[in-house]
Each structure stands twice: as structure tokens, then as C-alpha cells.
Amino acid sequence: MRTKRRNRVIFVSSLVASLSVAFIFIVLAMNENVDFYYTPSDLTSSKIINKDSLRIGGLVQEDSIKISKDSLKTNFLVTDLENSIEVYYEGILPNLFKENSGVIARGFYDYSDGIFYAKEILAKHDENYIPKEVKKALVNDS
């Protein structure tokens, strides 16, 4: 009885040990390709990412949004606070799209003119939740 249980303990611990190794390998493999988007620095750095469709993410740079008056054409800069990239998009923007807030654009990066031609824009919000009234008070104080 005792040896049986010992065998089971050995079985479970070896299973857990091999799972931990598997976990490390999975995470290392995922590190290569699991990122949902590239940052502007990834694109402007030396390695050229030549994909027909890729995503870039970052913050919408302050005072960079230019919306055409008579069409849905939009230009803005996406920044990761080190580098920024100009994005061109024609279409409807999500509600949370605004300056200094997160954005993810899917499209094609043209290295020749340095413009990212977006087919889809997603808004990314942060993990902070602040009541409107509190925010107003904070702004008035400062």
C-alpha cells in the first residue's frame, strides 16, 4: 500500500515537473509571435517587418489628429513615447478614440513614405476607472 502511494506521488511530481518544463517552452515560443501588435519603435527600428497585414499599437499623440471635413479620412500619429508613426485611415472611428489614449491599427506599413495605411482602428483603454465627478475636481484643483 505504501509503495503504491509512493509510486503515485512520483507519478504526480514527474507530471508536474514535465508540465512546468512544457510551460516554459510554450511561453518562450509564444514570446516570438503572440504579441497582438507591434510598437512604433518595432517598425522604425532596423528590422523590416514586411507583412501585408500587421497591427501597430500605442497612444494617439496629442494634437496630431487631423480629420477631413467632408470625408471619413483621418490622419494621426501613434506614439510609444519614443518613436511615432503617421497613420492614415478612412472609416468610422471607435468611440474611445482620442488623444493620449490607446489605439491599435491594423493595416500595411509603407516603408517608402513611412505611413501606416490602416484598414481597422481599435481603441485600447487602460485599467483605471475614475468617476467623472472626481476627474473634474482633480482638473479644477490643478
Residues engaged in binding other proteins (CB under 8 A): 5, 8-9, 11-12, 15-16, 19, 22-23, 26-27, 30-31, 34-39, 57, 94-97, 101, 104, 120-135
CB of 113 to other proteins, least distance (A): 25
Nearer to other proteins, 47 or 113 (CB): 47
Buried b (16+ CB within 10 A) or exposed e, 76-115: bbbbbeebbbbbbbeeebeeebeeeebbbbbbebeeeeeb
CA 39/CA 85 separation, integer angstroms: 9
76: phi then psi, degrees, rounded to nearest 5: -155, 170
Nearer to other proteins, 47 or 132 (CB): 132
CB of 115 to other proteins, least distance (A): 21
Nearer to other proteins, 53 or 112 (CB): 53
Q: What Å distances lie between residue 90 and 77, 78, 86, 122, CA to CA? A: 15, 16, 14, 13
Q: What Å distances lie between residue 131 and 51, 98, 135, CA to CA? A: 41, 18, 6
CB of 40 to other proteins, least distance (A): 12
CB of 134 to other proteins, least distance (A): 6
CB of 26 to other proteins, least distance (A): 7
Nearer to other proteins, 37 or 108 (CB): 37
Nearer to other proteins, 41 or 112 (CB): 41
